[in-house]
Structure 1
Amino acid sequence: MKRKVRKKVEGQTAYYHLMSRTVNGEALFGDREREVLRKMIWQVADFSGVRVVTYAVMKNHFHLMVEVPPVTEVSDAELLRRYRRLYPKPTPWNPMRAEVLEKTLAEDGEEAEILRKNLTRRMHDISWLMKTLKQRFTLWFNRSRERFGPLWCERFKSVLIEGDRWALRTVAAYIDLNAVRAGLVEDPKDYRFCGYGEAMGGSRLARKGLMVVDRDLAGYRQTLYGSGGGEKEGKVAIDREEAVRVLEEEKGKLPLSVILRCRVRYFADGIVLGSPEFVDDHLKSEQDGRLRPRKPLQMRGADWRGLSVGNGMRKNLFG
């Protein structure tokens, strides 16, 4: 069943949390595969004119948080730069060399106009971004494994996020804590396949992305770990199993830094996330024939500072 992509408001910058998982959730990606996918994320995003705010590449899925600017005219020089970034050399599915594109654009004839339209329509669009990324990685993965057939279990999931600093920071922290939730590392700075880990490793591009959610990485780290920069000596930490029990059985609340270490389906299945007003405006613009239209639902389980979603998901919300 085709999943509906959350629409952004025309003429405005939009933010999305995007996610895709392997067939049957199989853990197919080792260090080499995750490194290739990490590099492809930056490559395809650059071509698309989309900013990667942060990301996490795991053994059987990946997350992306992106900033999609309004559609603007792309100069021929920039179009050529982006083309060279995505196609540094000819491929069987795209045999045209960059030199041929450059010459055609310079001639500025009918063929040049067709090429401009075909290339620019793939930009500033999360559907084309994810389609290109997943197809390119699948081709590489199947070829490297002498494998054939589908790699991904579905198209992709998307949640539209309000461009509010708190909403963006909360979703970004949830993404960067993926490896901590999976038990791969104790600190996301030690996981090289996520935006925060790459930023702490010295990547200026990754740091620039995270500056969207916090101008200071030290401030962002407080969201990852609570009011301090890490666990305090003598402080008893609640384990994940106990946290889920408190959330599901007791319908209780936990500190934000604790709940972000649990699986929270709001971030992948919430449709739209932000203030009640933002969520309501979006839900009204996407009336889909329901007898009882969706309304904003306040997020539960922690002090989310007023954040709401478009889908409450009563069962298996936490894990």
Structure 2
Amino acid sequence: MAHNRVKESCSDQAVYYLVTNRVAGGRMLIKDQEKLKLKELLFAGCARFSYQVIDYVFMDNHFHLLIKIPATAEMSKVELLERYRLHKQNDEINFISSIQRNDFREKIHDISFIIGNFEQRFVQWFNKEHSSWGRLFGQRFDSEMIEVSAQSDSLLRVMAYISLNPVRAGIVLDPKDFHFCGYSDRLAGGDVGKLDHEFFDVFCRGIEAHVTRDKQKHFREVLRAYMLGLRCYKNADSKTVKEYLLTESSSLPEALQWDDLFIHKCRFFTKCLVIGSEAFVREKLAKFSGKMKWKRIHEPYTEAEWNDIYSLKPRRRRASVG
């Protein structure tokens, strides 16, 4: 059954999405071989389409991806043609018109097309590998637009949620020990961490760094602190992450055992369309509410423990009286 999806088509700014899907019936079908294939297909797609992988985790019955869609205006005609030829597997093919070129540009910046192609390729491989047929995933994937700005720590909260999946599942005590997630990948110098320096100015206030490698290092320290339970630090009176790491990291247990793991497990992160500050959620609500055929009223939603992070969810029905 088709469901609503909030999508931006931006020519001058990047858009970030949390993407989730699950195997039909919750079956544990994604073993190590399947996880390796998912990772291979995910990063291979970056060359054909226009997206970058910020984070990921592959579990036995589901996956989470954090995807950045760059601004459409950033891609030159030469690069666009290269991706078109890769997609068509033809080194000599050309666009027949500017309309076709523009349509392809929009398509490879569309989260529905990107993830649909990724899932289709994996299911085709899976069915061939296991001599099976039919659907593998239970439904269309869920996607949530994520705010990335100095006004919200939504990105860090989502990345912590993704990284802690194998911890919540009891597979490891620390995500650095789980091979199929972005956190261990970035610590090993994989492709998934190459963009970490882009978040330095947004999330590493109070820390000095000038070269890319140092910016990447400090951002990963911030992410680590979030996984260990650090909340955001929004004002001048707040402890900086550098001070936090110097004064408290030595006393923290190696295993990630902080009290509010259950908060990250809630469906807040996977069924809510938009995640960010209240202003960001209200902006998207105003922009998209007229286009959506919602049967229930949607509005910004938060809880006290979520540290000023809001989602766009349907209003809860009031219990009947009498």
Identity of aligned residues (%): 30
Instruction: Measure how far apart 1:202 and its partner are.
Output: 1.8
List aligned pairs for 1:22-171, cutoff 5 A.
22-72=23-73, 74-83=75-84, 97-101=89-93, 105=94, 111=96, 116-117=101-102, 119-164=104-149, 166-171=153-158
SS in 2 for 1:153: coil
List aligned pairs for 1:260-299, cutoff 5 A.
262-287=264-289, 288=292, 293-299=297-303
Instruction: Measure how far apart 1:8 and its partner are.
Output: 2.0
1:208 aligns to 2:206 (yes or no): no
SS in 2 for 1:52: strand
Distance in 2 separating the partners of 1:314 and 1:283: 17
Q: 1:153 to 1:16 in 2, by over 3 A?
A: same
Instruction: Measure how far apart 1:226 and its partner are.
Output: 2.4
Return the match for 1:223 from 220, 226, 241: 226
Give the paired residue count.
Answer: 278
Instruction: Measure how far apart 1:168 and its partner are.
Output: 0.7
The residue number in structure 2 matching 1:190 is: 177
Distance in 1 separating the partners of 2:279 and 2:67: 22
Instruction: Measure how far apart 1:236 and its partner are.
Output: 11
Q: 1:201 to 1:295 in 2, by over 3 A?
A: same
Unaligned runs of 5+ in 1: 88-95, 239-253
User: Which amino acid is 2:83 matched to?
Assistant: R
User: Which amino acid is 1:138 matched to?
Assistant: V
Maintained 8 Å contact 1:273/1:309: yes
Instruction: Measure how far apart 1:67 and its partner are.
Output: 1.4
Q: 1:116 to 1:73 in 2, by over 3 A?
A: farther
Distance in 2 separating the partners of 1:112 and 1:212: 35
Instruction: Measure how far apart 1:49 and its partner are.
Output: 1.4
Maintained 8 Å contact 1:57/1:194: yes
Farther-moved stretch of structure 1 (37-46 vs 280-289): 280-289
User: Which amino acid is 2:265 matched to?
Assistant: R
Maintained 8 Å contact 2:51/2:70: yes
Maintained 8 Å contact 1:221/1:229: no
User: Which amino acid is 1:160 matched to?
Assistant: M
User: Which amino acid is 2:155 matched to?
Assistant: L
Maintained 8 Å contact 2:147/2:276: yes
Unaligned runs of 5+ in 2: 201-214, 231-247, 318-322
Distance in 2 separating the partners of 1:34 and 1:15: 23
The residue number in structure 2 matching 1:6 is: 6
Q: 1:314 to 1:224 in 2, by over 3 A?
A: farther
Q: 1:157 to 1:313 in 2, by over 3 A?
A: farther
Distance in 2 separating the partners of 1:279 and 1:230: 37
SS in 2 for 1:295: strand
Instruction: Measure how far apart 1:235 and its partner are.
Output: 11
TM-score of the two chains, using structure 2 as the length reference: 0.76
Q: 1:153 to 1:196 in 2, by over 3 A?
A: same
TM-score of the two chains, using structure 1 as the length reference: 0.77
Deviations 1:165-197 (A, max 9, x none): 511111111011111111111111111211111
1:232 aligns to 2:233 (yes or no): no
Maintained 8 Å contact 1:53/1:212: no
Deviations 1:197-225 (A, max 9, x none): 1111221x211244455542112110111
Q: 1:236 to 1:132 in 2, by over 3 A?
A: closer
Return the match for 1:175 from 162, 167, 172: 162
Instruction: Measure how far apart 1:80 and its partner are.
Output: 4.9
Q: 1:18 to 1:313 in 2, by over 3 A?
A: farther
Deviations 1:261-297 (A, max 9, x none): x512110012211111111111122224668742212
